[in-house]
Amino acid sequence: MTQITLVAGREKPVRNQHPWVFSGAIADIAGSPKPGDIVDVRSSTNEWLARGYYNPKSQIAVRLLTWRDEPIDGAWWQSHVQRAVAARSHRPQRGPRAAYRLINAENDYLPGLIVDRYGDWLVMQALTLGIDQRKVELAEHLARITHVRGVFERSDVDVRKLEGLRPSAGVLWGEAPPEHIEIQENARLLVDVRHGHKTGHYLDQAPNRGLLYTLIERIKPARVLNVFSYTGGFGVHAALAGAEVVNVDSSSDALALAKANFDLNQTEGELIEADAFSYLREAHEAGEQFDVVVLDPPKFAQNKQQVDKAARGYKDINLSAFRIVKPGGYLMTFSCSGAITEDLFQKIVFGALADAGRQAQILRHLGPGEDHPVALTFPEGAYLKGLLLRVY
């Protein structure tokens, strides 16, 4: 097996079980590993440290799989997939409308592999070359242990370029999924796993949609503004709980499915196709007021270089949101940028509050559900953070 030796002083993250070895941390490669091959990683003093898969085209040249001297073979992959699946087996709903994340990549110690369950289908993202090479075998194993009807791939994402991979989507195993899969949260929701964002749905926000439902039940009658609504997940929950809801998104496709989702739940919501930044500013100028504003924007910072620009974007929308929340109302605000830490996000929201001249209390720190665990050794995994605020 190829032996990779690290530059002196670059061993610490590997010893701390961080799963990424950057190409700049590599001093020497003994052998000529092929892309995707399993390699050993050694310290500058030749001590064996870890084992992972290799990609010479990526800045993350090795993704580590184990820190024990064990073979990475079919049985290894199967047992690690099995462990991630078993960790979700307590979930109350396992029926045809169950929807949750089954494998959360690095955070489930399977770097580059995302698998979401939507009823009788699994949707997989192979984000790295090492996973791409093994995806059919992984899909077959997953299908065997979850008894689904099909495994569909949605690896049509930009990050694959960093791995030298082209987008890829389609059936990996079994039957093709229907156009829409109906899932159940506190509301019924249609998911377009073939064309929707990510694997079709923002599963990470499920507990927060449930929280909004409970909040509305408590405070109704309520007027809710759901900004960056996508297919209406938060909005349908609010409406079902008794609120009057305005949804704003720039994507007509997302809003078309949002309409179908309101209809499916026999409830209503206003749907506005607009740029959220402009909409929020204009709503303030028009003197609009809401009992609850939900802000769930897309990832503004793709990397650390974009943090400052992203911070200005977050501040802008949060400032506008504070201005249109009724005194005593609520703001549910999120960031899904991995490069924006929870601490920084709170500071940005604080800055917006100060500029708005309002007061706000943190009622809850928000994050994804337990099906999206974050490995303690991988802080990059904590991408979704949010705050539930009461605003005076």
CB 203, min distance to ligand SAH, A:
9
**Closer residue to ligand SAH, CB minimum distance, 325 or 375:** 325
CB 267, min distance to ligand SAH, A:
16
Segment lying near ligand SAH (by CB under 6 A), choices 121-129, 243-251, 352-360, 369-377: 243-251
* 275 is a site residue for ligand SAH (CB under 6 A): yes
Q: Which of residues 9-48 bind ligand SAH (CB under 6 A)?
A: none
Which candidate in 336, 344, 348, 356 is catalytic?
336
* Inter-residue contact 334 to 386 (CB < 8 Å): yes
Q: Which of residues 298-317 bind ligand SAH (CB under 6 A)?
A: 298
Is the CA virtual torsion 355, 358, 362, 364 positive or negative? negative
CB 387, min distance to ligand SAH, A:
15
* 262 is a site residue for ligand SAH (CB under 6 A): no
**Closer residue to ligand SAH, CB minimum distance, 124 or 384:** 384
CB 229, min distance to ligand SAH, A:
6
* 296 is a site residue for ligand SAH (CB under 6 A): yes
Q: Give the one residue of 109, 213, 228, 262 binding ligand SAH; rule: CB under 6 A.
A: 228
Segment lying near ligand SAH (by CB under 6 A), choices 69-77, 147-155, 167-175, 271-279: 271-279
Q: Between the CA of residue 256 and those of 79, 261, 344, what are the distances in Å? A: 41, 9, 35
Rg of the chain, C-alpha, whole Å? 22
Site string for ligand SAH, 177-216 (x = CB under 6 A): -------------------------x--x-----------
CB 231, min distance to ligand SAH, A:
6
Query: How far is C-alpha 37 from the chain's CA centre?
Result: 28
* 251 is a site residue for ligand SAH (CB under 6 A): yes
Segment lying near ligand SAH (by CB under 6 A), choices 12-20, 82-90, 173-181, 226-234: 226-234
Spatial separation of the C-alpha atoms in residues 140 and 213, rounded to whole Å: 38
Query: How far is C-alpha 54 from the chain's CA centre?
Result: 25
Q: Which residues are catalytic?
A: 336
List residues binding ligand SAH (CB under 6 A): 202, 205, 228-231, 233-234, 249-251, 254, 275-277, 296, 298
